[in-house]
Structures are given as C-alpha cells and as structure tokens.
Amino acid sequence: MTFHFNMKFHFNNAFHTITTFRAKLALSVCSAALLAATSAEAQQPIPLPGIVIKGATLEKAQVAQKRTTKPSDETDTPAPQNKAPPEPAASTVANTSPVSAAGQPSVPTPAGAPATDQLTAGMPATQIGSAVTVVTSKEIQQQQARTSGDVLRALPGVNVSNYGTPGTFTQVRIRGNDGRDTRVLIDGIEANTTKDHEYDFSNLSPDDIEKIEIIRGPMSALYGSGAIGGVINIETKAARGPLALSVRAEGGSFGTRDVAGRLAGGGDSGFVSLTAQSRDSAGFVVAPGGSVKEDTHLQTYGLRAGLTLSPTAKIDTTVRYTDKRAGLTGFGDDFTKPLQTADDGNYRLVERTLLAGVRLTWDQLDGALTQQLKANYNNDVSGNIQHPFVGYIAGSDSFSRDESGRANFGYSATYRLPTSAQFGRHVITGQVEKQNETFKPLADGDFFAGSGGDGLQHRRGQLSAAGEWRGTFAERLTLTAGGRRDVNDTFANFNTWRTSATYDWKELALRPHASLGTGVKLPGMYDQFGANAVTFISNPNLRPETSRGSDIGIEKQFLNGRLLADITYFRSDLRDKISPTYNSFFQVMPDNDIGITKRQGVEFSGKYQITPALFVGAAYTYTDAKKYDPALTDAQTEVRRVPHGYRFDTRYLFDEGKGTVSMAAVYNSRTPDVAFPNTFPYKSVTVDLQSYWLVQFAASYKIQPNMEIYGRVENALNAKYQEVYGYNTAGLGAYAGIKIKFDTMLGSGK
C-alpha cells in the first residue's frame, strides 16, 4: 500500500515536479509513518485545540483571567486507545480555532496550579482578521529544534537564510520583505538592534519559549517603525506549580555539547523562572573548498518573574542576556575564484545582548478598564576581531565594535464597553510611548587608516500615540481599526493605519479574513552614521521606507474541527527601499531606491488531527518579489526570496503518550541570489541557489515520569545546499540527549 501526493501549482513558472530520489524517499518515509500509525488500534479522533493571540492587538488583558490552557511542560497523554473520548458539542467545534499545529488534546487544570494564566491572554483566533501562525512549546519540544530559525523555517510566508554555522547570522523574512522589516518582540520587548534593525535568530534558543506568533502584514499602526513585513511575537515560559529544577544535556555531530537548566515555580501570588544554557559546537567548513571549521560558543541566561500585588494588580519583569563568540569566514579574499565566496580566515565574532523590561498592570471598574505602565531596554554590543593578512603584514589585526541601545517607556489603557445584544461588544485601546535610540561605532585599530568608527554617540528619539478599536457583532463579525502618529526628532513625522475584518460562519465552519494597512521603517543607524571611509560611506540623508499591504483569505474546518485549511493571498507595495549602491570594488553606500518594490504571493496551511495520537500538517508559500525601476525596461527579481517553499510535518504519540516520533520535511525551490566577480568592473551578477530538501527525524520517550531520553537526525538526506551564495551549510548530523526534572527542593513536591 502506498501513499501518493500529486500537487502542481502554476504561477509565473511551473513548479519543479517532485520526482527526484530524495523527494521520493522523504515522502515514502512520511507515508510509512502514517500507515503504521493508522494500522494501530482504532482511536477516536478529537478536534484541534483553540488558541488566543496577543501580538495582533494593542488590547491589554485583564489581570484576573481564567485559565484556559494547560502548562506547556506537562505531558500530553491521549485517551487510552481502547476508550473513546466524548464527542465535543457542536458549539464547541464551531468555536474551535485550530491555529496551533500541536494537535494535542486539552487536559484539565492540574491541582495546585494558579487560577490565572497570563499566557492565555489575548484575542481568540476567530476574531483576528490578520494572517497568523502559532508555534507552541509542545511543538518545539517534539521537533527538538535547537535554533529558533529552524522553528520558523518554511512556515507560511516565512523564509530563513543562514550564513553558515548555527552561530552565524540567521535572518528571517516575512512575505519577501527584508529581515530588518520584521519587528521581533520577546516578552513585549523589541529585540531588533538599532544598528541595522535586524534580529539575529541564532541568538535565540527555543528551549524556554512558550509560544511564537507570526503575524503577517504591515503592523506599524500598532508597533511603529520596522513592522512592514509583520511581527514575530515570542512569549517565554512563566512558571506554574511547585518550585522545580529541570536540566537537559545533549551531544552529537560537529562536536556539539548543549547543557540547559531551568528553576521555576509559581502560584496565585507570583512566579519566578530562572534559565541558563551553554551551547558549544566545533562547527564545520563554511568556505567552499576551505579547511577551517567555524566554531560557536553561545551562553544564554534568563529571568522571568511576576508578583500579584492584589486581585486586580500585578507586576512582571523579564531579563534576558546572551553572550556569543563564533568563528567567521573571510569573504572574497581568494582572487583565483571567478566569483567571491566565503574563504578561510582568522576572524572572530563577539556579541553580547541584553533585553530587560518591567510592566505594571492593573484593573479598574470591575475589569472594564485595564491600564499598563512599561519600561523596556535593549542593548547590543557586537565586534569583529580580524586577522586578514596573517603571515603577510605584521600588525594588520583589527578590532571593530558597535554599541547600540534602545530605551522605551509607555502607558496604555484598554476600555471594554458594556456588551449589547443590539450593538455588540466594543474594545477601545489608547497608547503613548517615548523611545530613545543610541549608536556608537568604535574601533581599536584597523589596517586601513581612517576606516575605524568615529567613537561618537549618535542619538535620535521619537514620541508616539496610537489607538485601536475592535468591535464584535453577534459573536460572528469582528472589525478592527487602528492608527498611529510618530513624532520624530530626526525625520519627518508620519502616520500609519491598519484595518481588518473576519466573519466566523459557524454553520459552515468557515471563516473569511482580510486586512489592509501601511508600514514604515526608519533607516538603521549604521546606514546613517556608520564610519568606515574606505569600504562604507554612511548616508545621513536617507528617507524612511514606506509600504502599503493587504491580504485576503479563507479558513475552513472539516471533520468536526479535526481538519483545518487556510489559503491567503497577499500583496504589498514598498517605496524608498534602502539598498546598497556600489561605487567601486571597495566602496558601498546605502541609498533610497527609485521606483516601487512589489511583493505578492499565496500562503497555504493545512492541519489534520487524524487520531488523538497522530497529527499531520502541511504548508506552502508562493512569493513573487520584484523591483520596478523607471530607468529600467524589465523588473528586477529580488534575491533570496524563495519562490516556492513547502513544509510537511507528522507526529505520532505511542505508549499512552510516553513516546513521540516526528518527521519534518522542508523544500525550497531554486532561488536567485547575488554574487560579485573578482575581475573588473566588479559589477554584481545574479546566480541561482539550487533547490533542496531538508528532512529531520526526532523521537523521545519518557522512561520515568521525570526522565526523558531523546534523539534526532538532521538533514537526513545529507543535502548539499546554500541559503546564501558562497556559504556552505551543515550536512547529515545526529544528536541525543536526556531531560531530568527534579521536584521542589523546598519539601512540598512529591
């Protein structure tokens, strides 16, 4: 018996037929897993669980919220295979919002857990008009993902590019936009640097992540500059239950050693969670034809704590610190190659980041009014130690360092009008924020005289006011509208807006959704003030990028909520895009493009809870991104935008939930990139990155209630591929580890 997929998508170019040996092998393994699972004892299907979204609204949740989900670190145990769980009521199925791909049954709140759970605060997915994908902690655990880039890879509308080893820069794009056009929030703190507005996802370990929300489309009306492509909202784990210590140790290919620990506990009065992780890797050879391995050393420390001041007031804080040291390749130093690529070199990256935030939230008027005061801080110090001419020129070493920071202070208030059967339910939120950004380029010496940083502290500030209205009518139609005014001290002031709509057609288990909005992104401070007079010229006259984007889609449930499918069309127009202009082989300057950059495409996702123990999922994204310059007759295709991207997932629970096996397969089609010749006139050329499959297998088993062993195989087909031209990626790798949880050391545990 076989299992066949026959899918063809016809857009600008016909999709490559999936008939290669590797593709067949990946799909055959997936088929075998499905057949083996479905041939087991009969199991009664259950609907996918519902979920709420926090990052798609300005609304602040009430302090007193009833708990609706289980702790993410609890064991998911399906109903015994010889017993069928009760069929959910029709109303439950109709209101189920199966956004999460976890596919796990809900369980009652365990004894001793607090009555509130702020992680559940937010809007039900059935009331969100934006396109949203959610990845839960349970899914991350089952995938055994060790980098946040791997968690996000090939999700609808998402593209990941890595410059070599896991410790080097990892960029995430949404809907063909640049990585700097995506706002990244960690526990409400903006994590993008002020230097270039990028966020390096290699710095974020998924170990202590509770949930990741990918909200696609312009969101500047809520979050201001940098939310053109969308928002990635990350919630780290809080703590519930008695104080307990959990540890994890792992080893495997490429000299990998990974140790992590978490001490956490909490109740109705408050909680505390302390985390630490150390990850070391000897790495692999990144430079094509090279011999030097690029190693990585990453340490992460985190604190999340909350205190309930009263039944209507709470305060919580987050502190997150990372210290990364990694080997880097040179680039373009081998002039015997026709095109520049990564080359062996004695380079080191040193980077330290600190995120810190505190929030005070309180309710008034019997919960109708919720107010919040917040203060956030982001600091990033990154440097490169370079020895480009070792053995040739004495004293040619150089050390460059950039320091960037952001301080943000804000007040917001949410008012919930009395619900009326005639006029529906309305929520109004207002917000005021003050933000200050700093940037200092430094250098302790450089072979090229005069090319170091100027050592000056550059500053800019912004005062913002935003408002949002959300109305829900007859528990079916939800409309939202919001706007924001940003007053800048270095740029012209600008306004942004956003609207969305969705209709929960319960009788048909159908939900159309749509959104329309504008976005803006200020230039990175390095583009304005970077001080390398030889290879880089800063441009203080840059204008902010502006965008208008829209999407429209439809979500449909089948089989009483066990199967969910969603398809969405999106489009955006970007003006004044900031791009590098190359004056010569050695010199580059950022400038605003003339013309419009258009991005459009289709996103599809499907999730199917076949049985309580078996889940399958699929995703597909088509992206068409082109730059239209009036001086050129033909549009230019943007590089590193994957035209066709697929993802397939399957997970199976066995032995009453003690064991889990999973497989993930990712396909990226042939993708254009840019390269630079080593001969005059050194003008850039377009090259193709070859298509590839990435397949991963993972398995885990609880040998005792508090002890779990696990293992995984990454790049199981040993694919040879590149995500950035001239940078090799990892081959086949195998890893294994153990997790142990120790009950409270204070005597109240088991």
Q: Using one digit for the tens of pLDDT, what is the confidence trace for 490-531?
A: 898 999 999 999 999 999 999 999 999 999 999 999 888 876
What residues are paired with 262 via a beta bridge?
A: 246, 275
Residue 589 within a domain: yes
| Strand duo 659-668 + 644-654: pairing | antiparallel
pLDDT tens digits along 106-120: 333 333 333 334 434
Residue 231 within a domain: yes
Instruction: Output 684 or 507, whichever has higher pLDDT.
Output: 507
pLDDT tens digits along 662-675: 999 999 999 999 99
Host domain of residue 517: 21-742
Q: Is the pLDDT of residue 21 over 50?
A: no
Q: What percent of the chain has pLDDT over 90?
A: 60
Q: How far apart are CA 732 and CA 715, in angstroms?
A: 5
Only one residue has tokens 């013309």, namely 595
The CATH number of the domain holding residue 43 is: 2.40.170.20
Q: How far apart are CA 121 and CA 71, in angstroms?
A: 14
User: Alpha helices of 483-628 — where are they, by DSSP H?
Assistant: 525-529
Residue 550 within a domain: yes
Residue 749 within a domain: no
Residue 401 within a domain: yes
Q: How far apart are CA 691 and CA 13, in angstroms?
A: 14
- The string over 237-260, giving b where at least 16 C-beta atoms fall within 10 Å of a residue's C-beta and e elsewhere, is bbbbbbbbbbebebebbbebebeb
Residue type, 359: R
Long-range contacts of residues 534-538, Cβ cutoff 8 Å, at least 24 apart: 534/448, 534/450, 534/451, 534/586, 534/587, 535/448, 535/451, 535/586, 535/587, 535/588, 536/587, 536/588, 536/589, 537/583, 537/587, 537/588, 537/589, 538/589, 538/590
Contact indicator for 355, 189 with CB cutoff of 8 Å: yes
Residue 557 has what pLDDT?
A: 95
Q: Is the pLDDT of residue 550 over 90?
A: yes
Sign of CA dihedral 560, 28, 603, 208: positive
Contact indicator for 733, 252 with CB cutoff of 8 Å: yes
pLDDT tens digits along 357-401: 999 999 999 999 999 999 999 999 988 876 544 433 334 445 678
Residue 168 has what pLDDT?
A: 82
Whole-number average pLDDT of the chain? 82
Question: What is the number of residues in the chain?
Answer: 750
Region 539-557: mean pLDDT is 95
Residue 748 has what pLDDT?
A: 41
Residue 16 within a domain: no
Q: For residue 368, with 0-12 CB atoms within 10 Å meaning exposed, 13-18 middle and 19 or more buried, which class applies?
A: middle
Mapped onto helix, strand or coil, the DSSP state of residue 93 is: helix
Band of the pLDDT at 739, cuts 50, 70, 90? very high
Band of the pLDDT at 124, cuts 50, 70, 90? confident
Region 90-98: mean pLDDT is 33
Residue 129 within a domain: yes
What residues are paired with 328 via a beta bridge?
A: 347
pTM above threshold 0.75 = yes
Residue 329 within a domain: yes
Residue 669 has what pLDDT?
A: 96
Q: For the chain, how many structural domains are there in total?
A: 1
Q: Is the pLDDT of residue 745 over 60?
A: no
Region 140-166: mean pLDDT is 88
Contact indicator for 638, 626 with CB cutoff of 8 Å: yes
